[in-house]
Amino acid sequence: MRKILCLTSHNLDHPAHGAVVRARSIFKLLERCGEVRLVLAGFHKLWGEQLPSACRDFELLRTVYFEPTPNRSLRERVRHELDPRFMNTEWMQANAADQAWLQSAIAEHDLVWIHGLDLANGFGRWHWPNSVLDIDDIPSSVHRSRLAQAAGSREKIRHRWQMRRWQRHEKLLGERFNGVCVCSEPDVEKLNLPGKTFVVQNGFDAPKNPIARQLVTPPRIGFIGNFSHPPNRQGVEWFLARVWPLIRQKIPSARLRLAGAKSTEISWPADQNVDTLGWIADSESEMATWSLAMVPVLTGGGTRVKIAEALSRRCPMVSTSLGAYGYDLADGQDIFIADTAETFAARCLQILNDPAGGQALADNSWKKFLERWTWEAQADRVAKVVETVASAPR
């Protein structure tokens, strides 16, 4: 049986959000290919006050704390901006003892699966033998989207510079890793690493029981996501400022339901019919009451698990183009796509005024979900990645 070493910066026992769902689900699929062992590494604030000493579903070999590196020479600062081989990209790195331990651990495993480029860079290691980098958010794409939304010239210059800086890093990923795993075919084209790139799409578990939609009055529009993630928070802020007033002009009683970590810790506008729910264990029952799920994401990279979750709940959706990026969903047939406040509001109102029409969209996309975007549908893709990389000559 193959031994697979999985590295992640996410505490997989924490309440689920997109990156945690992806890491945990792929690691579970990897267990079908071999014996999975886990390394949790990163900046401790990602995990909370107490560093995890165990993981519920996986054997946790080691917890590694990346130490800040505040004393930066001029040469280091210049290399940080200009040299794509400079690996201290986040100004945090593992200490020498942890780097030495990792060297030994890699030698004892047949495959190393790393979830995130910042994590790989944090170990200060250039070449990773028999490795797969899972890069669900391509850094240059994140800055490209921020550039598109930037208001002032200084902000535009900053994001254009960061986009090009990260593109230089991304061009060299084929030297560092045996395989690079992304979320969609468009991401394969962006990285342009022939023979090195694999697609494992984001997904969600298929429901165990039949879907029972239970719409309520007044109608609800919902959003689910981690509000400590800036693209989620900023997207909802845009929706509240630009879209929600247009909807409430037509349907004053409509309610907006915000579910997810940190949603209760943000000061949302008062008297706007907004319900903050925090993290909810039973999102299925909550989403069953929504007339539609909205995904007003304006910045970010990769694809969004929240799309797959709404598909799994058979819930109609209105999304920006970026929110639905990477999913083969047809506007007006499977989902509504809208990139201006006026169009976004109009599409939400269309579903609120015609629930049967909205449900028809969800029913169409449900069929695609079962074929393409359950985690079970990704099992063969993951197995192919493992076989290709682990079987390659060392």
> Tens place of pLDDT for every residue, the chain, 394 residues?
899 999 999 888 776 678 889 999 999 999 999 999 999 998 765 555 455 555 788 999 999 999 999 889 999 999 999 999 999 999 999 999 999 999 999 999 999 999 999 999 999 999 999 999 999 899 999 999 999 999 899 999 999 999 999 999 999 999 999 999 999 999 999 999 999 999 999 999 999 888 889 999 999 999 999 998 899 999 999 999 999 999 999 999 999 999 998 999 998 888 899 999 999 989 999 999 999 999 999 999 889 999 999 999 999 999 999 999 999 999 999 999 999 999 999 999 999 999 999 999 999 999 999 999 999 999 999 999 999 999 877 6
Q: 64 with 40: CB under 8 angstroms?
A: yes
Domain 220-373: CATH architecture, name and number where available: 3-Layer(aba) Sandwich (3.40)
- Which residues of the chain does CATH 3.40.50.2000 include? 2-202+375-390, 220-373
Alpha-carbon gap, residue 389 to 394, rounded angstroms: 10
Q: What contacts 226, CB < 8 A, 6 or more positions away? A: 17, 18, 232, 260, 261, 262
The token duo for 216 is 């309520």
The domain 2-202+375-390 having CATH identifier 3.40.50.2000: the answer here is yes
Closest CA to 127 of 110, 112, 137, 116: 112
Q: 190 with 254: CB under 8 angstroms?
A: no
SS3 7: strand
Q: What contacts 350, CB < 8 A, 6 or more positions away? A: 336, 357, 358
